[in-house]
Amino acid sequence: IFFRVFPSMSRSFLSFNIHDGAQEAIVHGYKNGILRSEDYTNISQCDTLEDMKLHLAGTDYGNFLQNEASLSSKVITERALDRLVTEFNELRSGADQPLAQFLDFITYEFMIANVLKLISGARSGRETLDLLYKCHPLGLFEGIGALTAATSPDDMYEIVLIDSPLGQFFQRTEKKDFDEFSMEYIRSLLCKNYYEHFYDFCRELGGETWEVMSQILDFEADRSVITLTRNTYGVKELQKEDRKKLFPGLGKLVDIHDDLAACEDDDALKEKLRNFPEFLELVEATGGVDEAGLTNLENRFMSAAAQLHKDSLARQFHYGIFYSWVKLRELEVNNLMWISECILQNMKHRINEYIPIY
């Protein structure tokens, strides 16, 4: 266990209100500002980004684009993300422990994505300094810039292991994996370790937080297992044992990990999921890849996750609302990017392919 255990981590309702009630109230206020179906209907009918800006001004986004001389999908996405980051950082700065550590766990997922982006860029010979500017702002950490100066995967590994908060998700015995395996493998290994650590931390928190977050993290772990299985069909370098090593040790599917690790096509996968109708339904509805690079399965997983997060936000006195709020706002930013791109590319026939929230 790499996290710090704080005394009396499971708070009573009264204690929760004393220590974390103000932060929870702020998030519930933010929740009320998440775009609703009527907001999406309005902006989906826009013909220009200026029209979209006008409609968004009537929501909680307000005049977030007022200082932009020209509009693009990139600008709208970045300003929407800036708003999320500002609100999150304000929550983090006012948080007591153990909420502060819980909020840090939320950022670790974005840090992992940023590190993977830089490692992938270095492996392919791309300019890592340019990639640094494209990193997610919630996943920046002191020392991330040093990754751009690393000259080899070995150097990057040492920087991540020693100088970043992600060191807790690595073991030195995994160095060979870092050097030799694909980015998909490294991503899965990091995410597995992240989910397992976060799960253990939430268990220590206990109470309503554990009840809510265990369901959410179980789902994310199962999504990771199914996605990894499908993405590695026919990969000869990845033996059954290697694949299973990447499966998080949690989730509803944990008892059939051996069977899933042996699957090499969708028919085999569906057969193993017969006793898990919620996941079988998702896999049976899969199709191709859309113009955003998302498969139908990914979209269905995102929709299912959104429902879990809405359920989380409907409850009180737990930390899951902070995680769920970030996830729904992240989805909202992606929706705005999709809609603005459709407007720019004159793809109005596809503009409604965003993931609805409320």
Q: Which amino acid is at 105?
A: F
Alpha carbons 160 and 62: distance in angstroms, whole number: 39
pLDDT above 70: percentage of residues in the chain? 90
Domain borders along the chain are: 185-284
Tell me if 357 sits within 8 A of 331, measured CB to CB: yes
pLDDT score of 128: 72
pLDDT score of 84: 98
Q: Which amino acid is at 15?
A: S
CA angle 285, 288, 294 (to 5 degrees): 95
Q: Tell which residue, 323, 354, 349, has the closest CA to residue 336.
A: 354
Alpha carbons 171 and 185: distance in angstroms, whole number: 15
pLDDT score of 2: 46
Q: Which amino acid is at 69?
A: A
Ranges of residues in the chain whose predicted pLDDT is under 70? 1-12, 153, 161, 171-181, 286-295
DSSP assignment of 296-326 equals HHHHHHHHHHHHHHHHHHTS-SSTHHHHHHH
Residue with structure tokens 């989380």?
A: 312
pLDDT score of 123: 75
pLDDT score of 147: 81
Q: How far is CA 14 from its chain centroid?
A: 31
Tell me if 15 sits within 8 A of 310, measured CB to CB: no
pLDDT single digits (tens) 219-277: 999 999 999 999 999 988 888 998 999 999 999 999 999 999 999 999 999 999 999 99
pLDDT score of 291: 45
Residue with structure tokens 């920046």?
A: 140
Per DSSP, the three-state class of 57 is helix
Alpha carbons 92 and 186: distance in angstroms, whole number: 29
CB atoms within 10 A of CB 315: 13
Per DSSP, the three-state class of 6 is coil
Taking each helix axis from N to C terminus, what angle separates 320-344 and 99-123, rounded to the nearest 10 degrees? 40
Q: Tell which residue, 260, 246, 142, 140, has the closest CA to residue 195.
A: 246
pLDDT single digits (tens) 95-115: 999 999 999 999 999 999 998
